[in-house]
Amino acid sequence: MKETLKKIKETALLELQSPECDTEQLRVRFLGKKGELTAVLRGMGALSPEERPIFGQLANEVRAEIEAALNAKMKEKKERALSEQLNREKLDVTMPGMPIRMGHQHPLTRVQREMENIFIGMGFQIAEGPEVEYDYYNFKALNIPENHPARDTQDTFYITDNILLRSQTSPVQVRVMEKQNPPIRVISPGRVYRSDALDATHSPLFQQMEGLVVDKGITMSDLKGTLETFAKKLFGESTSIRFRPHHFPFTEPSAEVDVSCFACGGKGCRVCKGEGWIEILGAGMVHPFVLENCGIDPEVYSGFAFGMGIERVAMKHYGIDDIRLFYENDERFLKQF
């Protein structure tokens, strides 16, 4: 029995010296309830009463020695793991930093801000309105009754019979005129919706910017001067504009407005499709019915309004030929601005 104890001790201590030694496994194997040392202690029943205390003491000594060696080994392992970790996590503060990638404004936001700033410089304020709009504001108050053909070209998404996604920013005109007495000078940029299929030049969602001026004695020449100033500031001083007669139910007279092609100066090129002119907006004098609908006396006041697509301006401005590029969020595209 003495021999067995000695053997257990020697094996345990020897195995503990090995660098791969699994301390937990070793503890179970020698000191655990079903361990080798416990097995020896159980066998002590067979000993004479005189021998028992001697062996008991010896067994306890062996246990203590193994435990001490085990603890030392565990401590050493822990320390080694810590120092390895500290080594691994060493921080060299003199290394160059990791650059943080900075984003920038989306090209549409950029053009929108540029356009806004030009109008703010002319004394306009920015007005906003809801994208989910009543039929009344989007159509009826703008002199587009039910069954009017203008509803076909501005077909949109209906939430109920009289609530829809606005097809233009013109309803903001009505909301502003209802609340504010002239003089009024606002622009209202924002999202609009139409039930169009997505292709290179159409999108069911796009942005427009509306403009509205109402005061005493406002005439078509004020409209022309305002738009000409805007076009020169946005596209360059040599830009000129031209008005072509058109029809909008909420303006009378109405016009479509072109700017001379900023790419070729009017000679005709790819950008203007050989025309020399690029159509950018619709405009006109606010229809007396619309003023009346908003509680403004058309005998006293007059006004002009205009509206343009921000995507269209941005596409012409940057030479982009597909509207879908604005919404795909492909970095290869966005990085270019």
Q: Using CB under 6 A, which of 112, 143, 168, 302 touches ligand PHE?
A: 168
Which residue, 80 or 244, is less far from ligand PHE as judged by CB?
244
Give the residue among 315, 324, 335 at the shortest CA–CA distance from 106: 335
Distance CA 20, CA 294 (A): 88
Q: In the bound complex, what is the minimum distance in angstroms from residue 126's beta carbon to ligand PHE?
A: 16
Q: What is the footprint of ligand PHE within residues 200-219 (CB under 6 A)?
A: 210
Residue 248 found at the interface with ligand PHE (CB under 6 A) = yes
Scanning the structure block, which residue is given the tokens 């193994």? 66
Which residue, 187 or 305, is less far from ligand PHE as judged by CB?
305
If phi > 0 it is left, if psi is from -120 to 50 it is alpha, else beta; for residue 295 that is left
Q: In the bound complex, what is the minimum distance in angstroms from residue 228's beta carbon to ligand PHE?
A: 17
Consecutive H or E run containing 184? strand 184-193
Distance CA 112, CA 89 (A): 48
Residue 143 found at the interface with ligand PHE (CB under 6 A) = no
Which residue, 178 or 328, is less far from ligand PHE as judged by CB?
178
Residue nearest to ligand PHE (CB): 307
Consecutive H or E run containing 140? none
Distance CA 235, CA 261 (A): 9
Q: What is the footprint of ligand PHE within residues 264-303 (CB under 6 A)?
A: 282-284
Scanning the structure block, which residue is given the tokens 């950008």? 271
Q: In the bound complex, what is the minimum distance in angstroms from residue 238's beta carbon to ligand PHE?
A: 26
**How is residue 35 annotated by DSSP?**
S
Which residue, 44 or 150, is less far from ligand PHE as judged by CB?
150
Mask of contacts with ligand PHE, 25-64, x by CB under 6 A?
----------------------------------------
Residue 251 found at the interface with ligand PHE (CB under 6 A) = yes
Which residue, 66 or 192, is less far from ligand PHE as judged by CB?
192
Alpha helices in the chain (DSSP H): 2-17, 23-31, 36-42, 51-88, 107-121, 135-138, 150-153, 171-179, 220-235, 288-293, 310-318, 325-328, 331-334
Q: In the bound complex, what is the minimum distance in angstroms from residue 312's beta carbon to ligand PHE?
A: 11
* Residues at the site binding ligand PHE, with contacts judged by CB under 6 A: 168, 170, 210, 248, 251, 282-284, 305-307
